[in-house]
């Protein structure tokens, strides 16, 4: 065997090794990911979701302009959603869910080691013209992100936000004492408000939306939620109490 042949063989072997590692998880996702409850791992932003629990499908687009559409998504804590992410571009893109800190660190690693391959339930690598899926259950309220970590894409602004809203506060019983539509205010005699740690009393509330006052009458018995909104305590939901329903 000549030296030239040896070199050629070595080069061919290198090429074979290099090929599968040259892309960030450019594997074929023709077969959908199989859900295995025993292998689900908790993260600070939730865990892989059981496809049987999906109640909402969120379609997203990814483009070579380095954008996700939509880039702002709100889910409820506990909700299991399926992201169906379509690659409208000519480049490989991916959607990776995470905390802002995780994604930033991961993007920096991708710049340093562009040959890194990953396949985790919180990500979908999508070839041009194809679609990928992530089924995820958000178990904690908070501000999370999704990003494309193909080298340079995150840095070009290819990221979005997932706001996970906490549970709506429990409702409190009350009685309408006074309605001030002009000021958008409501006087309620109410029981203890757990989420505000407020004892029962009669007090004036703002309302988060003037429409909440539309169908109220003084003397009504109601159930309502109150929360701190921009530094003021406001009624955010109100309805006739069951016993007083008309
Ligand atoms: Cu991308």
- What is the residue-averaged pLDDT of the chain? 84
Q: How far is the CA of 50 from the centre of ligand 1 (A)?
A: 26
Residue 22: pLDDT over 70? no
Q: How far is the CA of 156 from the centre of ligand 1 (A)?
A: 9
Q: How far is the CA of 148 from the centre of ligand 1 (A)?
A: 5
- Cis peptide leading into 70, omega within 30 of 0? yes
Over pLDDT 90: what percentage of the chain?
Answer: 57
- pLDDT, position 115: 75
- pLDDT, position 243: 52
Every domain range in the chain assigned CATH 2.60.40.420: 27-33+40-165
Q: How far is the CA of 237 from the centre of ligand 1 (A)?
A: 41
If you ran DSSP here, which 8-state letter would residue 121 be given? T
- pLDDT, position 242: 64
| 62-94 residue pLDDT tens | 999 999 999 999 898 888 999 999 999 999 999
- 185 in helix, strand or coil? strand
Residue 189: pLDDT over 50? yes
Over residues 140-146, the mean pLDDT reads 91
| 95-138 residue pLDDT tens | 999 999 999 998 888 888 877 777 889 999 999 999 999 999 99
Range 172-244 classified under CATH 3.40.640.10: no
- pLDDT, position 9: 43
The angle formed by the CA atoms of residues 123, 35 and 124, to the nearest 5 degrees, is: 15
- pLDDT, position 73: 92
Q: How far is the CA of 28 from the centre of ligand 1 (A)?
A: 17
Reading across the β-sheet that carries 67-69, which strands appear in turn? Answer: 47-48, 131-137, 80-87, 56-63, 67-69
In CATH, the number for domain 27-33+40-165 is: 2.60.40.420
Residue 60: pLDDT over 90? yes
List C-alpha distances in Å: 47 to 58, 134, 160, 236: 17, 11, 19, 30
- pLDDT, position 175: 97
* ipTM value: 0.90
Over residues 34-57, the mean pLDDT reads 91
Q: How far is the CA of 139 from the centre of ligand 1 (A)?
A: 27
Q: How far is the CA of 57 from the centre of ligand 1 (A)?
A: 21
Over residues 155-166, the mean pLDDT reads 92
Every domain range in the chain assigned CATH 2.40.50.320: 172-244
Burial code (b: 16+ CB inside 10 Å, e: under 16) for 113-129 equals eeeeeeeebbbbbbbee
């Amino acid at each position: 065997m000549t030296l030239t042949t040896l070199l050629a063989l070595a080069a061919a072997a290198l090429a074979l090794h290099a090929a599968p590692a040259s892309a960030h998880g450019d594997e074929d996702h023709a077969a959908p990911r199989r859900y295995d409850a025993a292998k689900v791992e908790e993260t600070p932003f939730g865990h892989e979701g059981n496809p049987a629990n999906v109640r909402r499908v969120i379609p997203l687009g990814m483009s070579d302009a380095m954008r996700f559409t939509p880039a702002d998504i709100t889910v409820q804590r506990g909700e299991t959603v399926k992201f169906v992410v379509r690659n409208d571009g000519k480049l490989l893109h991916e959607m990776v869910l995470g905390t802002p800190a995780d994604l930033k660190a991961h993007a920096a690693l991708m710049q340093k080691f562009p040959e890194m391959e990953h396949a985790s339930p919180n990500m979908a690598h999508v070839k041009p013209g194809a679609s990928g899926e992530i089924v995820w259950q958000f178990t904690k309220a908070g501000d999370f992100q999704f990003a494309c970590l193909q080298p340079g894409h995150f840095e070009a602004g290819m990221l979005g936000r997932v706001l996970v809203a906490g549970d709506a506060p429990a409702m409190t019983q009350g009685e309408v004492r006074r309605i001030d539509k002009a000021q958008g205010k409501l006087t309620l005699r109410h029981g203890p408000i757990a989420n505000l740690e407020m004892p029962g009393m009669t007090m004036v509330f703002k309302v988060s939306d003037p429409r909440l006052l539309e169908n109220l009458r003084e003397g009504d018995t109601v159930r309502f939620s109150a929360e701190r909104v921009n530094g003021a305590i406001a009624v955010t939901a109100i309805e006739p109490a069951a016993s007083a329903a008309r």
